[in-house]
């Protein structure tokens, strides 16, 4: 059951054949997709254009479609199916009013091929229709406790070609956390770019009134360390040191630098201390505990005010089991893209247009350095 900004709860089904497509989107009243409210059916044509320069590994597509809506509340069982591929479609804007004009710069959660084996939900959705929409079992197993070690399930994608893995640790004192964010140049997370180590505090602030089963949290980021993983990043950080990030002209390959005393890293758009209003949810999926943390705003803005608290989630993290050493962590920041947001207003570092061009050069250098 997908949770989109708004929030919206839905299941999706697509069919592609000979440059034609059809889709069904089933909407629900709850985050478990058990109470059906309405649906949308669309069909049309599409044409692949070129490889995306915004998101490495992606392909730009243009199309036209027709759609209709329906409202039904029934359920149909289905047969077993076989294993297959995954499809990543362009992301949607977190601001619902800007979705119609937004050009995707990342991906939504992947879709599985309808004949994948041992996937009850896949089969259920594949065999559904307008009169018998899929309905999942209403099982909510959530808790406000998030202590433990959590890691990414896959190589995650952010806007403008940012690929990363996350490792988060929430300590048993229920107030402190730390983590690593490892950023890469490619969609397989095989070519390292840079890593962030962060520490901070958190406090729960009650149940969410927007998403059933979720909890509101307030996060505070108090420490930041940066490690550059390729020579192009080292060159750029030293060249643009006037933007502010650690000791000027001091960056070296694979050498961690603590930038806490510098108030963060303006080059990456991270300031310290940093307070954000978050939303968190835990779920048990296939006998494994998963942690959902709020989705970052598409416009790159921070979550520093209550009205900016997320209404949807990033890719879930899975909990590590057994006796392990505490994981080094990463924050729930999206550093490079945060910098793009700061370029919209005047800064102490000069002309915003100049700052934007400089940051764009860094992003392009990251994408094409390998």
Q: What is the mean pLDDT of residues 28-33?
A: 86
Phi, psi of 201 (to 5 degrees): -125, 160
Domains in the chain, number: 2
Gyration radius (Cα) of the chain, Å: 21
Q: Is residue 24 part of a domain?
A: yes
Report which of residues 113 and 252 the model is more confident about.
252
Residue 165 and residue 76 share a domain: no
Residue 102 and residue 50 share a domain: yes
Q: How confident is the model at residue 65 (pLDDT cuts 50, 70, 90)?
A: low
Report which of residues 66 and 174 the model is more confident about.
174
Say if CB 340 and CB 358 are below 8 A apart.
no
Asked if residue 178 has pLDDT above 50, the reply is yes
The pLDDT tens digits for 261-277 are 999 999 988 889 989 99
Domain termination site, one of 75, 94, 126: 126
pLDDT in the model for residue 328: 42
Angle between the N-to-C axes of helices 352-368 and 231-239, in degrees from 0 to 180, rounded to the nearest 10? 170
Q: What is the mean pLDDT of residues 5-16?
A: 87
Q: Is residue 135 part of a domain?
A: no
Q: How confident is the model at residue 63 (pLDDT cuts 50, 70, 90)?
A: low
pLDDT in the model for residue 237: 94
Residue 181 and residue 89 share a domain: no
Residue 332 and residue 188 share a domain: yes
pLDDT in the model for residue 100: 83
Residue 223 and residue 360 share a domain: yes
Domain termination site, one of 96, 126, 156: 126
Q: Is residue 132 part of a domain?
A: no
Residue 231 and residue 113 share a domain: no
Q: Is residue 131 part of a domain?
A: no
pLDDT in the model for residue 162: 83
pLDDT in the model for residue 225: 97
Instruction: For residues 186 and 210, give the distance between their C-alpha atoms in angstroms, rounded to a whole number.
Output: 35
Q: How confident is the model at residue 53 (pLDDT cuts 50, 70, 90)?
A: low
How many Cα neighbours within 13 Å face the side chain of 93? 11
Residue 262 and residue 232 share a domain: yes
Task: Identify which of 55, 49, 185, 46 has the alpha carbon closest to the alpha carbon of residue 107.
Answer: 55
Q: What is the mean pLDDT of residues 178-190?
A: 92
Note down the domain range covering 99.
2-126
Asked if residue 81 has pLDDT above 90, the reply is no
Q: What is the mean pLDDT of residues 233-239?
A: 93
Instruction: For residues 67 and 103, give the distance between their C-alpha atoms in angstroms, rounded to a whole number.
Output: 20
pLDDT in the model for residue 369: 43
Q: What is the mean pLDDT of residues 103-132?
A: 81
Instruction: For residues 222 and 329, give the distance between their C-alpha atoms in angstroms, rounded to a whole number.
Output: 13
Q: How confident is the model at residue 301 (pLDDT cuts 50, 70, 90)?
A: confident
The pLDDT tens digits for 220-229 are 999 999 999 9
Q: How would you classify the pairing of strands 192-207 and 162-170?
A: unpaired
Instruction: For residues 58 and 271, give the distance between their C-alpha atoms in angstroms, rounded to a whole number.
Output: 32
The pLDDT tens digits for 195-205 are 999 999 999 99
Asked if residue 281 has pLDDT above 90, the reply is yes
Domain termination site, one of 126, 156, 182: 126
Q: Is residue 93 part of a domain?
A: yes
| Lowest-confidence segment of 49-58, 79-88, 329-338 by average pLDDT | 329-338
* Structure-block tokens of residue 177: 């956390």
Instruction: For residues 330 and 196, give the distance between their C-alpha atoms in angstroms, rounded to a whole number.
Output: 6
Residue 346 and residue 209 share a domain: yes
Angle between the N-to-C axes of helices 352-368 and 335-342, in degrees from 0 to 180, rounded to the nearest 10? 160
pLDDT in the model for residue 34: 85
Q: Is residue 94 part of a domain?
A: yes
Q: Is residue 141 part of a domain?
A: no
Q: Is residue 140 part of a domain?
A: no
Q: Left (φ > 0), alpha (ψ -120 to 50) or beta: where does 299 sit?
A: alpha
Residue 16 and residue 94 share a domain: yes
Residue 233 and residue 271 share a domain: yes
Q: How confident is the model at residue 139 (pLDDT cuts 50, 70, 90)?
A: low
Residue 154 and residue 120 share a domain: no
pTM score: 0.69
pLDDT in the model for residue 141: 62
Token pair 């996060």: residue: 219
Residue 77 and residue 226 share a domain: no
Say if CB 316 and CB 275 are below 8 A apart.
no
Angle CA 222–227–232, to nearest 5: 135
Asked if residue 332 has pLDDT above 60, the reply is no
pLDDT in the model for residue 299: 76
Q: How would you classify the pairing of strands 288-293 and 317-319?
A: antiparallel
pLDDT in the model for residue 46: 80
Q: How confident is the model at residue 322 (pLDDT cuts 50, 70, 90)?
A: low
Of the ranges 27-36, 233-242, 358-367, which is most confident? Answer: 233-242
The mean pLDDT of the chain is: 78
């Amino acid at each position: 059951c997908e949770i989109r900004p708004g929030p919206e709860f839905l299941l999706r089904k697509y069919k592609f054949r000979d440059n034609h497509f059809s889709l069904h989107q089933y909407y629900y009243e709850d985050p478990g997709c058990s109470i059906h409210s309405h649906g949308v059916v669309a069909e049309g044509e599409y044409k692949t254009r070129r490889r995306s320069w915004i998101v490495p590994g992606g392909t730009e597509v243009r199309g036209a479609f027709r759609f209709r809506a329906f409202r039904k509340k029934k359920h149909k069982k289905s047969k077993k199916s076989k294993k297959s591929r995954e499809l990543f479609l362009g992301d949607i804007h977190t601001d619902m009013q800007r979705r119609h004009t937004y050009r995707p710069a990342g991906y939504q959660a992947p879709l599985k091929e309808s004949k994948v084996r041992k996937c009850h939900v896949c089969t259920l959705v594949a065999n559904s229709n307008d009169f018998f929409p899929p309905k999942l079992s209403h099982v909510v197993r959530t808790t406000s406790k998030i202590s433990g070690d959590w890691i990414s399930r896959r190589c995650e994608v952010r806007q403008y070609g940012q690929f990363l893995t996350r490792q988060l640790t929430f300590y048993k004192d229920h107030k402190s956390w730390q983590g690593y964010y490892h950023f890469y140049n490619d969609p397989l997370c095989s070519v390292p770019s840079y890593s962030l180590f962060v520490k901070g505090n958190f406090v729960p602030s009650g149940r969410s009134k927007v998403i059933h089963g979720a909890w509101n949290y307030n996060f505070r980021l108090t420490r930041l360390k940066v490690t550059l993983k390729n020579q192009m990043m080292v060159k750029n950080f030293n060249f643009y040191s006037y933007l502010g990030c650690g000791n000027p002209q001091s960056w070296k390959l694979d050498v961690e630098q603590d930038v806490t005393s510098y108030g963060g890293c303006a080059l990456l758009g991270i300031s310290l201390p940093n307070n954000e209003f978050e939303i968190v949810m835990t779920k048990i999926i296939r006998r494994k505990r998963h942690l959902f943390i709020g989705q970052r705003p598409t416009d790159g803005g921070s979550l520093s005010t209550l009205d900016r608290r997320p209404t949807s989630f990033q890719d879930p993290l899975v909990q590590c089991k057994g006796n392990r050493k505490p994981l080094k962590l990463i924050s729930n920041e999206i550093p490079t893209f945060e910098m793009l947001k700061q370029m919209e207003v005047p800064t102490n570092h000069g002309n915003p247009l100049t700052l934007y061009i400089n940051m764009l050069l860094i992003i392009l250098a990251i994408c094409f350095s390998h």
